[in-house]
Amino acid sequence: MTKILIDLNIILDFLNKRNYHREAADLINRCAEHELSGFVCAHEVTTLSYFLVKEDKDRVKARTTITALMNLLTVIPVDEAVLRDSLLSPITDYEDAVIEVSSMNAGIDCIISRNIADFKHSRIPAYTPEQFFLV
């Protein structure tokens, strides 16, 4: 089964019904139906919590949303080794480098992101959802 890391911008597309939310929903649904094996980095979960509470001021809703997400996607841990290795990544943006290194450690096949230019130097291929569905 294909292992994909779903970047936070795709999750926010889905949750906030932003542009391309249908493509994001298709990815999430395919993970729910076990057609794809979906992953997210641990630091993205904490960032998502920040956005959810900031927008809605509803901690219960944020917990429910995060629980549902963690029931669908496997959380990749971020530890000191990942953080140190990310400093040596060919990706210059540190957060994106953490995603790349975490994905490499977890054996991820590709990264799905709205901002694939951020992963131009990634050692793991990155696609938009639309590109991924064409592969």
pTM of the model: 0.92
Q: Are 100 and 41 in contact (CB under 8 A)?
A: no
Domains of the chain: 3-134 (3.40.50.1010)
- Determine the Cα–Cα distance for residues 83 and 119; give it in Å rounded to an integer: 17
Comparing CA positions, the residue from 45, 105, 112 lying closest to residue 75 is 45
pLDDT tens profile 88-135: 999 999 999 999 999 999 999 999 999 999 999 999 999 999 999 987
- Determine the Cα–Cα distance for residues 27 and 37; give it in Å rounded to an integer: 10
Instruction: Tell me the C-alpha to C-alpha distance, in Å, between residue 64 and each of 43, 53, 61, 78.
Output: 18, 12, 5, 23
pLDDT tens profile 46-81: 998 888 887 777 788 889 989 999 999 999 999 999
